Amino acid sequence: MDESEGRPVDRRGFIRDAAVGAAAFAAPGKLMADQTESHDHARDHGHGHDHDHQEVPADVALRVRALESVLVEKGMVDSAALDEIVDTYENRIGPRNGAEVVARAWVDSAYRDRLLADGTAAIGELGYLGGQGEHMKVVENTPEVHNLVVCTLCSCYPWPTLGLPPVWYKSAPFRARAVIEPRAVLSELGLDVPEDVEIRVWDSTAEVRYLVLPERPAGTEDMTEEELAQIVSRDSMIGVARVEPPSEGPAGGGR
Ligand code: FE
């Protein structure tokens, strides 16, 4: 065997390559950029090595990436099929279920009351309970209170109503900072909450998962429940965005 050239990539090399892939996979954003900062900060405290310390999301992404690569290479799974599954949970089925819950609450005040009193039972009425969503608490945004959901320990998230958690939700900076400086985090994510609005942060656990009932935007009085469900975004149900009314002409460039 030609050791220098023909040798298949060894484990270390594979992991290194996968780390690069994982880094690219974890799409860069403001919070991801912050993660780099916090990593450098950690290194200032004597961590001279690479990624062996508290870099949970990167490490998990790395391992998932590595596992996926091996399975794809062995022909046991198909990348396109995996992408399809993730896309289904993340962009189609998941958040759409939660959006239906929100829209129902907006048009049916009795349902809204039941939803806030017992989220699990009311969500169960629509059939959206299941793994990672067995015990649900719904918190309502009002002009006085804005709710934000996080999982400071890991990435607990209500799959049956929201699908898979986005990458930033699992990132160390979001998990740490959401409880310390929620207003700043929300602002970085594009949501400025007025100073006179109280921000409540809910820390998800393996037992309880949260869903934010966002405020119904003005100008939607004539919309049907189905139409309303279409405008409810995933991020609004985590509490990092508002629901915007359907675009009236060019979207008001609030990026
Ligand atoms: Fe968790």
183-216 pLDDT tens trace? 999 999 999 999 999 999 999 998 999 999 999 9
The pLDDT of residue 132 is above 90 = no
Distances in whole angstroms, Cα of residue 80 to Cα of each of 68, 83, 84, 86: 12, 5, 6, 10
Please report which confidence band the pLDDT of residue 21 belongs to, taking 50, 70 and 90 as the band edges: very low
CA separation for the pair 139, 212 (Å, rounded): 5
CA distances from residue 119 to 101, 125, 130, 148 in whole angstroms, order as listed: 10, 10, 13, 16
Q: What is the pLDDT of residue 246?
A: 87
108 pLDDT higher than 70: yes
The Å distance, Cα 84 to ligand 1 centre, comes to 24
- C-alpha–C-alpha distance, residues 103 and 237, integer Å: 12
pLDDT higher than 70, residue 97: yes
What is the per-residue pLDDT for 248? Answer: 62
Q: Is the pLDDT of residue 90 over 70?
A: no
Which is more confidently placed, 136 or 163?
Answer: 136
Q: Which residues are catalytic?
A: 151, 154-156
Gap from CA of 175 to ligand 1 centroid (Å):
10
What distance in angstroms lies between residue 136's CA and the mean position of ligand 1's atoms? 14
CA dist 220 and 227 (Å) reads: 9
- How far does residue 201's CA lie from ligand 1's centre (Å)? 14
CA–centroid distance, residue 203 to ligand 1 (Å) = 9
164: nearest Cα among 174, 155, 173: 155
- Compute the distance between CA of residue 125 and CA of residue 122 in angstroms, rounded to an integer: 5
Max Cα–Cα distance, the chain, nearest Å = 73
Q: How many CB atoms lie within 10 A of CB 196?
A: 7
Could you tell me which residue, 210 or 50, shows the higher pLDDT?
210
For the full predicted model, state whether its pTM sits above 0.75.
no
The rounded Å distance from CA 122 to ligand 1 centre is: 23
Residue 68 pLDDT grade (very low, low, confident, very high; cuts 50, 70, 90): confident
Question: What domains sit in the chain, N to C, each tagged with a CATH number?
Answer: 11-77 (no CATH), 96-238 (3.90.330.10)
**238 C-alpha to ligand 1 centroid (Å):** 14
